[in-house]
């Protein structure tokens, strides 16, 4: 049986931060001047130790044991999780991405993306608690009142208190505007919340001192739909004026969901206000809850993409180890009738190439997104800040959807490499598939993300942000096509073809969006083209960033860079070459599917 414990990919992370995120340039920004590359490397090394030593050993046991709703209403996490969470908080890891004036470490987002990859790769169920807590910090930082910022925010930053996102209701699902939870104003300026929410991750547990629920609810006189939703901070334990904790609020976990995967994570049905009403305070302005919640949701969507990356890397490691260890059948090209490790079989090599190139491409996308967030938040040039934010907005649905879809595909292919043993729970590889499947659903299903991309993000500036990105991609492709290294030359030619497919598909989408907006008969071609367009976009972004890494690797090889081995650098070039001459070829068919719009769909369902 293959050992499935996670190992942090230190070289891959360091290389990606250096060459894709531009770590040295980020650390030159005034906001990050206290960090040096050496300090960042030290932080990454300590994070790797925590992920490998504390979180990874709990992953399989947590999956087997699961969570338990006790008779007194409390919820028990799997053995070891509460202790690990306390050590996580004590180590300052929850506070890593937040500014020092909020009690945080102040790490760049690009570096935090590497930490998140490690947490999720080592133990996805555990890492969901800090993911939602950190997303809640973003909301209160932007919309919290003075009391919320002074009393609640620091506790969330440190992780002493954890957070949840309470949006979904049984009758509403993704139609958030159909929510029925109500908030009635009280004479003391607080509100009484009554309603039920489902699928609440980390909704009840004993790992943190308090749980801060961020709940969407409707005021009595609110308009219908999403325009009538407000956001409320509803603590599990009431908070006294001096910040100390008081009595239990009027809320409880009614039940825990029986799930396909992520058994070590609580997913609760939460009831608010069985009696007088759960006491909450308004976050932001009345009837503007969606505006505030989207800050949390967008942060969580990027975080979900990082969940996918973590699972992709964990699965890739196990796939590689098994292929190197499993001896079966003779090599196709060998005259010897002697069994060899399956890594010598061409189809296994193809699957490993797909797994490993996709994983590195997803890591590069995460680092690139982090660097854009850093420039948007801490840059000193206003034009560059606006451009970076526009790209963050455009790429967020791609980061969430493309990464999680490819992570699921990688988990599935890892099972395939294991053959029959992959279908057996004892090997542990089925857990990757079960755990990662939900990431394609929550924080807005991947289909909803695709609609957001084509109907809002791409169309908001008539494709100008995409056009600027394509200019950079084509500039890189042109450089590579003139390189003396035949590998880079091939990468450049394939990248240019993929970029042309994306450009043409983007133009088709914009035309379809205009048709959708002007058509009152219900014909929505852009909606049917959204998913293939997002996949095409994601593939080109992976190819672009892998090619960028390959170019940097070639320079380092020529210079005799001592930080990375020649084998490692050549492998970065090889991964880019494989990706651009195999997975990237799908862009041509995706371009045609986008161009055809919803004709096939209409033929089937009209």
Task: List the catalytic residues.
Answer: 443
E-strand ranges in 26-185 read 68-69, 75-76, 161-166, 182-185
Backbone phi and psi for residue 213, each to the nearest 5 degrees, phi listed first: -90, 125
To 10 degrees, what angle do helices 56-65 and 124-143 make? 100
Q: Cβ distance 557 to 483 under 8 Å?
A: no
| DSSP helix/strand/coil, 280 | strand
CA 264, 265, 269, 270 dihedral sign is positive
Q: Cβ distance 137 to 192 under 8 Å?
A: no
The tokens for 217 are 């609810």
How many other CB atoms are found less than 10 A from the CB of residue 227? 12
Residue 85: Cβ-neighbour burial (10 angstroms; 0-12, 13-18, 19+): buried
Q: Cβ distance 297 to 134 under 8 Å?
A: no
| DSSP helix/strand/coil, 517 | helix
How far apart, in Å, are the Cα atoms of 281 and each of 28, 152, 190, 195? Answer: 40, 12, 5, 16
How far apart, in Å, are the Cα atoms of 350 and each of 8, 320, 327, 343? Answer: 24, 12, 17, 10
């Amino acid at each position: 049986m293959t050992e499935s414990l996670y190992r942090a990919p230190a070289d891959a992370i360091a290389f990606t931060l250096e060459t894709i995120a531009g770590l040295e340039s980020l650390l030159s920004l005034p906001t990050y001047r206290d960090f040096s590359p050496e300090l960042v490397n030290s932080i990454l090394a300590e994070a790797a130790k925590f992920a490998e030593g504390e979180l990874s050993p709990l992953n399989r046991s947590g999956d087997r044991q699961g969570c338990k709703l006790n008779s007194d209403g409390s919820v028990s996490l799997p053995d070891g999780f509460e202790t690990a969470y306390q050590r996580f908080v004590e180590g300052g890891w929850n506070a890593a991405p937040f500014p020092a004036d909020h009690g945080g470490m102040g790490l760049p987002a690009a570096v935090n993306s590497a930490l998140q990859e490690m947490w999720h790769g080592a133990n996805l169920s555990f890492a969901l608690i800090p993911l939602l807590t950190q997303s809640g910090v973003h909301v209160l930082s932007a919309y919290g009142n003075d009391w919320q910022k002074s009393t609640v925010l620091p506790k969330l930053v440190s992780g002493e208190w954890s957070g949840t996102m309470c949006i979904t209701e049984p009758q509403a699902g993704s139609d958030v505007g159909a929510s029925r939870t109500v908030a009635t104003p009280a004479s003391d300026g607080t509100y009484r919340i009554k309603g039920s929410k489902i699928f609440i991750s980390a909704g009840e547990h004993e790992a943190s001192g308090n749980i801060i629920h961020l709940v969407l609810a409707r005021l009595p006189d609110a308009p219908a739909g999403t325009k009538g939703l407000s956001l409320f901070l509803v603590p599990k334990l009431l908070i006294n004026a001096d910040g100390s904790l008081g009595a239990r609020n009027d809320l409880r976990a009614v039940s825990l969901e029986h799930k396909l995967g992520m058994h070590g994570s609580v997913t609760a049905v939460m009831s608010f206000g069985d009696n007088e009403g759960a006491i909450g305070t308004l976050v932001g302005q009345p009837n503007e809850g969606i505006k505030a919640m989207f800050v949390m949701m967008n942060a969580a969507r990027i975080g979900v993409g990082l969940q996918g990356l973590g699972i992709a890397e964990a699965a890739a490691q196990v796939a590689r180890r098994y292929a190197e260890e499993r001896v079966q059948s003779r090599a196709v090209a060998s005259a010897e009738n002697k069994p060899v490790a399956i890594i010598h079989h061409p189809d296994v090599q193809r699957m490993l190439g797909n797994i490993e190139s996709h994983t590195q491409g997803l890591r590069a996308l995460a680092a690139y997104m982090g660097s854009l967030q850093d420039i948007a938040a801490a840059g000193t040039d206003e034009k560059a800040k606006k451009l970076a934010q526009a790209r963050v907005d455009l790429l967020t649905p791609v980061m969430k959807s493309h990464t999680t879809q490819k992570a699921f595909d990688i988990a599935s292919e890892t099972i395939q490499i294991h053959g029959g043993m992959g279908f057996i729970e004892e090997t542990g590889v089925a857990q990757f598939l079960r755990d990662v499947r939900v990431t394609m659903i929550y924080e807005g299903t991947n289909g909803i993300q695709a609609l957001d991309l084509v109907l809002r993000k791409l169309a908001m500036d008539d494709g100008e942000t995409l056009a600027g990105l394509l200019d950079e991609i084509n500039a890189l492709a042109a450089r590579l096509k003139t390189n003396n290294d035949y590998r880079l030359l091939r990468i450049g030619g394939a990248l240019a073809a993929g970029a042309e497919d994306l450009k043409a598909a983007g133009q088709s989408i914009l035309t379809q969006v205009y048709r959708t907006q002007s058509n009152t008969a219900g014909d929505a071609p852009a909606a049917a083209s959204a998913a293939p367009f997002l996949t095409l976009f994601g593939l080109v972004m992976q190819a672009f960033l892998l090619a960028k890494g390959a170019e940097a690797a070639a320079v380092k090889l020529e210079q005799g860079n001592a930080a990375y081995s020649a084998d490692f650098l050549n492998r970065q070039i090889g991964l880019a070459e494989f990706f651009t001459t195999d997975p990237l070829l799908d862009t041509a068919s995706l371009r045609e599917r986008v161009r055809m719009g919803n004709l096939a769909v209409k033929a089937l369902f009209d």
